[in-house]
Amino acid sequence: MQIDEAFADSQAPNASAIQNARGVVIKRKLVGMFRSADGSLLFGECKGSGKDNYQPSADFADPAKPVYRCTCPSRQFPCKHSLALLYAFAQGAKFSEKEVPTEIGEKRAKIQQRVEKKKDDAEKPHKVNTGALKKKIQTQLEGIALLETLLNDLVRAGLGTLNAKSARQVEEQAKQLGNAFLPGAQSALNALTGLFYRSQISSEDELKASERERIYSAALDQLNRLHSLCKQGRKYLQTRLEDPELKPETETDIAAWLGHAWQLRELKDAGLVQTNVELLQLAFNAYDDWTRREFVETGAWLNLQTGAVQLTRNYRPYHAAKFIREDDSCFHVMICPELCVYPGNLNPRVRWEAGEARPVNKTDHLRGREHAKTDLKAVIKDVKTQLKSPLGDRHPLALVRYRTLGRAGDQTVIADQNGERLVLADDQHPGEPATLPLLSMLPPVVHQEQAMLVRFHHDLDAQTLRAKPLSIVTESEVIRLTY
């Protein structure tokens, strides 16, 4: 296990934890630093505000799933004391060899027991409390009926009557959807109402007439999505009500739309697991989704085995944001023994329980480029197929191989080997900078025969489908244009 400062940074829950942990090292608060004979455990004692010293440790018994423990009362994991151990180790501090403390030995044994129990449980058939499930589905169906009423009221009154105040009133009503086990539907409705005011904390949040004019098409599109959600959701729930033993649907992402939080076990049961996968991150973005009241970190990864562009999403609700690890850009290849893939469209969400990072090498870039789609026409067709589905992701990503990157008229375009062009343009994705101006500043080598990760966006008013460049994969590097 290679523990360097970059690794320690990657384990920190947020930027301030890094700063605090480094502070612990500088202030010489680590009063004892030890390592086990096999090097799988770092532990020590650290001065803190309590009467007794804290006892942080970093356990690499399973290198893919390091465990950090500490006797301090912090709710952040790892806490600054455990992180400080990593920084001290990375900075070359002397760790004397010592036997693994009994308490840690016991905890390791308990983990082992849990792993085995988990294995046993996995083999046992999962029991479903059908009575409770039926009741839940019934409540969800009532929620769907409520959503439908809300939508019909909105459309009857007309979007022209919706303003900041009434949008917030609709949101208040939408809280009932959350109570009806439909958090996904609630978020989708908030995404509609959120278009009609500036932000949740602004006092002057009413939109100007010109601004309202620009959002109507997007609002109508969101209404359509909600309308389809009602229709498809009701059908799905009714089928499940008739047969509660039925597993959540994996062909479409309707379950997620309704707010189903997929358990890794469910994904495994549904066969949505890929083994021994290597992932190369091509792009990353973090933004504040105030309509969901969550911070969202999204990573776009290239599956080096299948060539699919898959997404990781880390949701950190405002109220718990401090205690959930904040994702960051990853410049390593992640090796995942088991990769769970969510049901979805072109770019399904993925998750892994245990993963190990290794440095990126030239072969990875070459493998990545080989996976890039060479036929733009086919890519665009797939994208349009996804877009025409009302519940399809409106911003699909694709890694495409281009022959040239240049200009046509006053547009920036890429062209494939057949001469098919795709116009590149920036979009209004939250929390992300414009990338088009960067293209002219890149070395000339990127202007020909490279692979580009793009994100599509359809402008309903202009009737154009454009792609925003997110990164370029050359033979030697991934040039990130966002984060």
Partner 1 sequence: MSLTLIQESAKEVRRLSIAGSPLAVGDFRLKKLVAPLEQAGAKAPVFGQVAKSIGELVNGNEAESAARLLHLSTLLNAILYTQGQTTAEGESRELEIFATNCSSTRTPARVLKPLIQALTTSGGGRFEVIKSAFERGAFNDLRLIGPSVQALDDNFPELADLIADKILPGFGAGIIPRLKETFDLKGKKSDGRKLKLMHQLDPAGTLPLCKTALEDGAVDVKVAAIECLGRHEDCLPLVQEQANAKNKVVRAAALEALAGYDRPEIAKLFTDLIKGKALDILAQPFRAIKNRQVVQSLIDEGQRAFLLLQNGDEEQIPRFLEILDCLVKRPEAEEFSLGCFNQGDKLAKLKAPKNSHVTGADVMIRLASQLYGIGSARALEAIVAKRDELATAGFSLALRSALRIWSPEKVFEVFSPLLDQKKGVSKEKSEELQRYIVGTQWDETSRFHLMAHLEPDGDSEPGLKKVVWDPRWLDAAVKNDHQAVVCSLARPGHKAALDYLLKQDDGKKFSDAGFVLRALIRCEYPKVTDYFLKIVTKKTKGAKHFDYELQFLFENARHLPKTDLPRLDEFASKLDEKFVDKFLEALAPLRTPASA
Q: Give CA–CA dist 41/77, Å, rounded.
A: 17
428 binds partner 1 (CB under 8 A): no
Which of residues 267 and 280 has its CB atom nearest to partner 1 in the complex?
A: 280
Q: Which helix (H) or strand (E) holds 478?
A: strand 478-480
| Token code pair at residue 420 | 């098919």
Pick from 128, 132, 157, 320 the residue near partner 1 by CB under 8 A: 157
Q: Calculate Rg over the CA atoms of the chain.
A: 25
285 binds partner 1 (CB under 8 A): yes
CB burial class (10 A; 0-12, 13-18, 19+) of residue 173? middle
Which of residues 113 and 389 has its CB atom nearest to partner 1 in the complex?
A: 389
Choices 27-35, 242-250, 269-277, 305-313; region in contact with partner 1 by CB under 8 A: 27-35
23 binds partner 1 (CB under 8 A): yes
Pick from 125, 131, 160, 271 the residue near partner 1 by CB under 8 A: 160
Which of residues 67 and 472 has its CB atom nearest to partner 1 in the complex?
A: 472
Q: Give CA–CA dist 342/252, Å, rounded.
A: 10
Which of residues 182 and 226 has its CB atom nearest to partner 1 in the complex?
A: 226
460 binds partner 1 (CB under 8 A): yes
- Give the 3-state secondary structure percentages of the chain, helix then strand then coil, rounded to 5: 40, 25, 35
Strand residues in 266-425 grouped as ranges (E): 273-289, 294-303, 309-317, 332-341, 350-351, 356-359, 397-408, 411-415, 421-424
39 binds partner 1 (CB under 8 A): no
Choices 64-72, 158-166, 171-179, 271-279; region in contact with partner 1 by CB under 8 A: 158-166
Build a one-symbol-per-residue string for 164-203: x at contacts with partner 1 by CB under 8 A, - elsewhere: ----------------------------------------
Pick from 390, 395, 427, 429 the residue near partner 1 by CB under 8 A: 390
Pick from 19, 91, 411, 418 the residue near partner 1 by CB under 8 A: 411
| Token code pair at residue 33 | 């630093």
447 binds partner 1 (CB under 8 A): yes
Pick from 316, 349, 468, 480 the residue near partner 1 by CB under 8 A: 480
Which of residues 186 and 386 has its CB atom nearest to partner 1 in the complex?
A: 386
- For 474, residues 6+ apart whose C-beta sits below 8 A from its C-beta are 365, 445, 446, 450
Other C-beta atoms lying within 10 Å of the C-beta of residue 428: 9
Residues between 305 and 344 that touch partner 1 (CB under 8 A): 326, 328-329, 331
250 binds partner 1 (CB under 8 A): no
Which of residues 62 and 221 has its CB atom nearest to partner 1 in the complex?
A: 221
Q: Please report how close the Cβ of residue 456 comes to partner 1 at its closest, in angstroms.
A: 9
Residues between 50 and 109 that touch partner 1 (CB under 8 A): none
Q: Which of 429, 393, 219 is nearest to 311 (CA)?
A: 393
Q: Please report how close the Cβ of residue 284 comes to partner 1 at its closest, in angstroms.
A: 5
Segments in 28-157 forming alpha helices (H): 80-90, 102-123, 130-157
Interior CA angle at 254 toward 251 and 258, to 5°? 155
406 binds partner 1 (CB under 8 A): yes
Give the side-chain half-sphere CA count within 13 A for 367. Answer: 16
Choices 238-246, 314-322, 346-354, 474-482; region in contact with partner 1 by CB under 8 A: 474-482
Interior CA angle at 107 toward 101 and 111, to 5°? 145
Distance of CA 153 to the CA centre of its chain: 34
Q: Please report how close the Cβ of residue 144 comes to partner 1 at its closest, in angstroms.
A: 13
